[in-house]
Chain A
Amino acid sequence: MTIVATDIVRIAVVDKARGYWTNVGRRLMRDPVSVLCAVVLILIALAAIFAPYLSLADPFLGSMIRRLRPIGTPGYPLGTDELGRDMLSRLVHGGRLSLLIGLLPVVTAFVIGTTLGVSAGYVGGFVNQTIMRTVDVFYAFPSVLLAIAISGALGAGITNSLVSLTIVFIPPIVRVAESVTTSVRGLDFVNAARASGAGPLTIMRVHVLGNVLGPIFVYSTSLISVCMILAAGLSFLGLGTKPPQPEWGLMLNTLRTAIYINPWVAALPGAMIFTVSICFNLLSDGMRSAMDVRS
């Protein structure tokens, strides 16, 4: 024989057994943009989570004489809103609801959409047609309109807007899941798995899901920003959060009357929404390249 175990090609000792996710994390850490976005998001999330312990001003306490103070006013680093409440405190507290509304519908839709999409793609035939044509019905409406319609029908409130946003995000995730599953299903390694005796459930769980989860996950991350914007839109229209709850979309709505008086303060909630959504977008781009094992 030609190659014997003794004439070993020396391989760098670095590559010890490492999990897939460790590798993804390592690659992600090498991308400065992703790291920056992750840091920003983590800071905002931490601030939101620990908002009650940060010894900020009471976000609900207004003052008629200190309304619409500009940014940099002593005692009010980010100014005050139209009712004289501390903007810094309201922005930090607002993050709690805004992030929840941005994340929860996407996570729920990810679970439901992946299940439906992978089943549709793998089983095919009648099941596929039933699921996909039902999903197509939702595509008849623009997502904003759909969210508003469902929210409006269910009535205003946080729970209802969470439900409506989940429903809005299930169809696109099902589509993506179905299309990647269909393409993976035809690949040789699925046949190879069948040829070595794997049953349909094993193939679906191990080989299909293993290859499909990455792309769906990345796509879903990119939906978080859309979700935040839609949620802000719902609050803006008065369908989501109710005043005086601090929430970025709602704050943007109530402050719009002050746009000519104190435009910088009025733009702050918008800036927060913008920052968070662009960070999620860039991070999902970074994830996309980090999760591609072949790169």
Chain B
Amino acid sequence: MSVNPLSAPIVDIRDLHVRFSGERTVNALNGVDIALAQGEVLGLLGESGSGKSVTLKALLRLLPPRRTTITGSMHVAGQDVLSMDDEALENYRGGVVSMIFQEPMLALDPVYSIGDQIAEGVVRHKGVSWAQGRARALEMLEGVRIPSARRRLDAYPHEMSGGMLQRAMIALALSCSPKVLLADEPTTALDATVQIQILLLLRELQREMGMAVIFVTHDIGVAIEISDRVAVMYGGRIVETGKLRDVVKNPQHPYTRGLLASTIHGAKRGVRLETIPGAPPRLDRLPPGCSFAPRCGLADAACSQGEILAVPLGPQRNVRCIKLATNIAVPVGV
């Protein structure tokens, strides 16, 4: 890419398609576009099977190569991710882009101490000595505010609580100062009080280090807490994207409206929560046109014909719905 690095997005995904072939062909991603600037936090929202995690894994090229077909383009920090060879990929993973996982208990190796696991990555990516790697690990554990970090350096994962482990996981992910951090529902496995601590910590570290973050979640409350911008995914597509405030205050896509209406944030006691009827589409049999049409109250015959293109509503604000005109007329109460 020969674009001015200052204005170029650090993550630039264009028309990304991911197809898994096997017993049945699954179209996991169907044209995803993401542009993320340095220091920006994007909340990727959606229910299970909407393609959030697949997007992250595709970005790290972690999907099994034999059964996966990826088309489109992915550039991170000016590098073409899809054309990387194995060695470039190893330097890229963890060095340029790193990831934190949903279950810290499972994502950390049970037979090595926390400090050794962090040091391993630092030694690998920065080419420093083991002692320097350990020093960096200590620095990182202090950075994520683990109490008595020096002692925790030699603790094994089973000796720490879930919240502590997630902090350690964050320390591990950030130890090589990546440019982009991918967070795959990092707070889902934690209880509510720890959740908010972790979110605040992530936000703080993100500002400090100036990273771009893609934060995957299905909890709209969590997304509100951390994101600058949100992208709502459905059926392997981004159906609505925009500034956090715009999307939450003024959702345009019927799915986003349904999603926002179905949270308990601000719900009235005694009133049934709104639900979206039906279930998400099976990705091996996507309906033509808008994949949300079968569940949408506004859908008519036109919705199931041809591909629905994203309608720009402003800078970095897109909605994939052809019923926008009729949709806007309906007042939104959030």
Partners in one complex: yes
A interface residues, Cβ below 8 angstroms from B: 1-5, 7-9, 11, 15-18, 20, 187-189, 191-199, 202, 206-207, 210-211, 214, 293-294
* B147 CB–A CB distance under 8 Å: yes
Residues in A neighbouring B200, C-beta threshold 8 A: 1-2
Q: How far is the CB of A42 from chain B (nearest CB, A)?
A: 27
Q: How far is the CB of B294 from chain A (nearest CB, A)?
A: 33
Q: Please, which residue of chain A has its CB at the minimum distance from the CB of B175?
A: A196
User: Which DSSP category, helix, strand, loop or mixed, fits chain A's interface?
Assistant: loop
Q: How far is the CB of A51 from chain B (nearest CB, A)?
A: 39
Residues in A neighbouring B222, C-beta threshold 8 A: none
* B197 CB–A CB distance under 8 Å: yes
Alpha-carbon gap, A4 to B142, bound state (A) = 9
The answer to whether residues A211 and B98 also contact, given A196-B93, A196-B173 and a CB cut-off of 8 A, is no
Q: Are A5 and B149 closer than 8 Å at their CB atoms?
A: yes
Q: Are B142 and A195 closer than 8 Å at their CB atoms?
A: no
Selected contact of B142 from candidates A5, A187, A210, CB within 8 Å: A5
Residues in A neighbouring B172, C-beta threshold 8 A: 196
6 further contact pairs, Cβ within 8 A, besides A1-B145, A196-B173, A206-B120: A9-B147, A189-B109, A193-B109, A194-B93, A197-B91, A198-B120
Selected contact of B62 from candidates A189, A195, A199, CB within 8 Å: A195
A4, A18, A193 pick with most chain B CB within 10 angstroms:
A193
In chain B, residues 154-194, which have Cβ atoms closer than 8 Å to a Cβ of chain A?
Answer: 154-156, 158, 172-173, 176
* B213 CB–A CB distance under 8 Å: no
Q: Are B145 and A210 closer than 8 Å at their CB atoms?
A: no
Alpha-carbon gap, A62 to B61, bound state (A) = 75
Name the interface size band of chain B: 35 or more
Residues in A neighbouring B89, C-beta threshold 8 A: 197
Q: Are B112 and A210 closer than 8 Å at their CB atoms?
A: yes
In chain B, residues 69-112, which have Cβ atoms closer than 8 Å to a Cβ of chain A?
Answer: 86, 89-95, 98-99, 101, 103, 106-112
**Cβ contacts A to B, 21 pairs, < 8 Å:** A1-B197, A1-B204, A3-B147, A5-B147, A15-B151, A15-B155, A20-B111, A188-B103, A188-B106, A189-B109, A191-B107, A192-B101, A196-B93, A197-B125, A198-B94, A199-B86, A206-B109, A207-B109, A211-B111, A293-B110, A293-B158
Q: How far is the CB of A278 from chain B (nearest CB, A)?
A: 29
Alpha-carbon gap, A277 to B172, bound state (A) = 45
Selected contact of A210 from candidates B92, B99, B109, B197, CB within 8 Å: B109
Q: Are B148 and A11 closer than 8 Å at their CB atoms?
A: yes
B interface residues, Cβ below 8 angstroms from A: 60, 62, 86, 89-95, 98-99, 101, 103, 106-112, 120-121, 124-125, 142, 145, 147-149, 151, 153-156, 158, 172-173, 176, 197, 200-201, 204
Residues in B neighbouring A198, C-beta threshold 8 A: 90, 94, 120-121, 124
Q: Please, which residue of chain B has its CB at the minimum distance from the CB of A295?
A: B158
Residues in B neighbouring A191, C-beta threshold 8 A: 62, 101, 107
Q: Please, which residue of chain B has its CB at the minimum distance from the CB of A192?
A: B107
Q: Which 5 A-B pairs have the closest CB atoms?
A: A196-B94, A197-B94, A188-B106, A197-B93, A17-B154
Alpha-carbon gap, A191 to B108, bound state (A) = 10
Q: Are A195 and B109 closer than 8 Å at their CB atoms?
A: no
Q: How far is the CB of B133 from chain A (nearest CB, A)?
A: 13
Q: How far is the CB of B44 from chain A (nearest CB, A)?
A: 17
Alpha-carbon gap, A218 to B259, bound state (A) = 51
Q: Are B106 and A189 closer than 8 Å at their CB atoms?
A: yes
Alpha-carbon gap, A76 to B93, bound state (A) = 72
A3, A5, A16, A196 pick with most chain B CB within 10 angstroms:
A196
Selected contact of A8 from candidates B109, B147, B173, CB within 8 Å: B147
Residues in A neighbouring B125, C-beta threshold 8 A: 197
Q: Are A211 and B148 closer than 8 Å at their CB atoms?
A: no
Selected contact of B98 from candidates A15, A187, A196, A214, CB within 8 Å: A196
Q: How far is the CB of A132 from chain B (nearest CB, A)?
A: 20
Residues in B neighbouring A1, C-beta threshold 8 A: 145, 197, 200-201, 204
Residues in B neighbouring A192, C-beta threshold 8 A: 99, 101, 107-108
Residues in A neighbouring B156, C-beta threshold 8 A: 293
Q: How far is the CB of A83 from chain B (nearest CB, A)?
A: 53
The answer to whether residues A7 and B111 also contact, given A187-B106, A195-B62, A198-B124 and a CB cut-off of 8 A, is no
Alpha-carbon gap, A20 to B155, bound state (A) = 11
Q: How far is the CB of B86 from chain A (nearest CB, A)?
A: 7
Residues in A neighbouring B107, C-beta threshold 8 A: 188-189, 191-192
Alpha-carbon gap, A207 to B111, bound state (A) = 8
Q: How far is the CB of B27 from chain A (nearest CB, A)?
A: 23
Residues in A neighbouring B62, C-beta threshold 8 A: 191, 194-195
Q: Are B201 and A195 closer than 8 Å at their CB atoms?
A: no
Q: Please, which residue of chain A has its CB at the minimum distance from the CB of B86?
A: A199
Q: Are B95 and A197 closer than 8 Å at their CB atoms?
A: yes
Q: How far is the CB of B260 from chain A (nearest CB, A)?
A: 28
Selected contact of B145 from candidates A5, A187, A199, CB within 8 Å: A5
Q: Please, which residue of chain A has its CB at the minimum distance from the CB of B144?
A: A3
Q: How far is the CB of B157 from chain A (nearest CB, A)?
A: 9
Q: How far is the CB of A174 from chain B (nearest CB, A)?
A: 22
Q: How far is the CB of B215 from chain A (nearest CB, A)?
A: 16
Q: Are A18 and B147 closer than 8 Å at their CB atoms?
A: no
Alpha-carbon gap, A241 to B148, bound state (A) = 61
Residues in A neighbouring B121, C-beta threshold 8 A: 196-198
Q: Please, which residue of chain A has its CB at the minimum distance from the CB of B153?
A: A17
Q: Are A197 and B145 closer than 8 Å at their CB atoms?
A: no
